[in-house]
Amino acid sequence: MAVPAKNIPAPDLVPVRRALLSVFDKTGLIDFAKALAAAGVELVSTGGTAKEIAGAGLAVRDVSELTGFPEIMDGRVKTLHPSVHGALLGVRDDPEHAKAMHDHHIQPIDLVVSNLYPFEEVRRSGAGYASIVENIDIGGPAMIRASAKNHAYVAIVTDPADYASVLNALEMNLGSLSLDFRKKLAAKAFARTATYDAAISGWFAEVLEIEHPTWRAFGGRLDQVMRYGENPHQGAGFYLSGDKRPGVATARQLQGKQLSYNNINDTDAAFELVGEFDPARSAAIAIIKHANPCGVAEGETLKAAYAKALACDPVSAYGGIVAMNRTLDAKAADEIVKTFTEVIIAPDATDEATAIVAAKKNLRLLVTGGLPDPRAAGTIAKSVAGGLLVQSRDNAVVDDLELKVVTKRAPTPAEMADLKFAFRVAKHVKSNAIVYAKDGATVGIGAGQMSRVDSSRIAARKALDAAEAAGLAEPLTKGSVVASDAFFPFADGLLSAIEAGATAVIQPGGSMRDDDVIAAADEHGIAMVFTGVRHFRH
């Protein structure tokens, strides 16, 4: 049964006469405290916050004066006291509450300024278990939630970015804050504690290796409000989870207009793909359109890799995303800007390359400082009606797999290198995925089809189109290898690839008709390798 409400109407304007300030992040604290004091607000504070305020020459009461009890246990216990929480939770227009406050000498607090121990930052720093636990704030969330619940009388500020708006509102309302403003502060406060608790619960699940906790929470902080989502009639915002995995969320944007919803989605796909390629082995370029690669290649240089990647599907590359695994240099930049491109993302960029890209004022250039680790564990969530689908990141890497030759003919060393390359790319192509590759470059990609045969045919057709555009006598699928993200359920998909010119195949295997598929490969002298790992990507 729900807790009954007394239905006492909340006042619109509440004068701010006493403020409790207790913050870890002291950004803007002194200027804010000075402005409050100048407005006649009594300042109450705790620990280091009180010392900093007093050090600025401001009058401040220590919270122990309100509680009659000193801070103990290294500051773990300081605000957890009825004199504080009664001051925050008391319904001042309720006669019973008012009497209790009077009888117990509880002085109301009208404004609370609190932010939390940096749990998220300490967790990301690689600190030990004890240090991480010590940075789980208890008193702060308790005060924040109490103040937010009683927003009818108390204003709660959890973000230094809101100090200016609070001061402006106080000035506009002659020292009071409106109910609407207090509600908005409360909503933000509850969102902050929810995100904080999500980080803590997620960390515990990770440490204890609980793959599927009974309660799962995700949180994030708004980074930007976007003009629209996937389509102009959809609203959208970009939230940061705090994960420091190199990518679009952690990158620095050196130039160009604001990223759109689709830009961010596609750029993430591009950089995750190119992260599969070790920069110490070769340069690599991935060109992405609508979250699918339209060209991927390795080369001695980024310029060479870009030329090979572009040749796979130069039509689709128009308006695409270009990702690379090495520092963007001037030669590569010169080539990339010749084709209309939405975003370039790289670990870094030289000054010369940055200047070349700057000539295209709308072209976004992002630098990340590193590459995402394709082997790293992680969690992926997808919303469905009424719930979330949560799974671990697909961190299987072809170089780590035990590849099994299942045909009479084994791949040549050159074919095996291309097979691994193609399977690495297929991991990042929407299912059903077919990828033709030759000499360390994609030469045909079929993505997102309901039938694997259709994906194979589309990839071959696009290879024909690319050959015509380049003036070649035959498509580059002739003499190529082919990768399939999942097994061939029938031999027809394989036969389609053979017809396109493939000489070797890599696929997971595991179909009831594997023997039929292997027999078809042997009949045509095709080498086939099983990986034992599927890469569905929906």
Of the listed 26, 34, 290, 331, which one is catalytic? 290
Provide the pLDDT confidence category of residue 89 given band limits of 50, 70 and 90: confident
For residues 246, 252, 257, 262, the Cα torsion angle rounded to the nearest 10 degrees is: 10
pLDDT at 251: 96
Whether the CB-CB separation of 481 and 440 falls below 8 Å is answered with no
In one-letter notation, the amino acid at residue 66 is L
pLDDT at 393: 93
Whether the CB-CB separation of 220 and 241 falls below 8 Å is answered with yes
The pLDDT of 31-37, averaged and rounded, is 96
Residue 523 has pLDDT above 80, yes or no: yes
Whether the CB-CB separation of 277 and 284 falls below 8 Å is answered with yes
Q: How far apart are CA 257 and CA 306, in angstroms?
A: 24
Taking the CB of residue 309, how many other CB atoms lie within 10 A of it? 26
Average pLDDT, the chain: 92
Of the listed 26, 34, 81, 149, which one is catalytic? 149
Provide the pLDDT confidence category of residue 75 given band limits of 50, 70 and 90: low
The CA angle 255-257-259, to the nearest 5 degrees, is 105
333-355 per-position pLDDT tens digit: 999 999 999 999 999 999 999 99
Question: Is 149 assigned a catalytic role?
Answer: yes
Helix H or strand E encompassing 481: strand 481-484
Residues linked to residue 197 through DSSP beta bridges, in sequence order: none
The pLDDT of 306-318, averaged and rounded, is 94
Provide the pLDDT confidence category of residue 124 given band limits of 50, 70 and 90: confident
Whether the CB-CB separation of 333 and 255 falls below 8 Å is answered with no
The pLDDT of 284-292, averaged and rounded, is 96
Residue 78 has pLDDT above 80, yes or no: no
Residue 422 has pLDDT above 80, yes or no: yes
221-243 per-position pLDDT tens digit: 999 999 999 999 999 999 998 88
Whether the CB-CB separation of 448 and 472 falls below 8 Å is answered with no
Question: Is 538 assigned a catalytic role?
Answer: no
Residue 70 has pLDDT above 80, yes or no: no
Provide the pLDDT confidence category of residue 68 given band limits of 50, 70 and 90: low
- Between strands 481-484 and 442-446, the pairing is unpaired
How are the residues of the chain apportioned to helix, strand and coil, as percentages rounded to the nearest 5?
A: 40, 20, 40
pLDDT at 518: 93
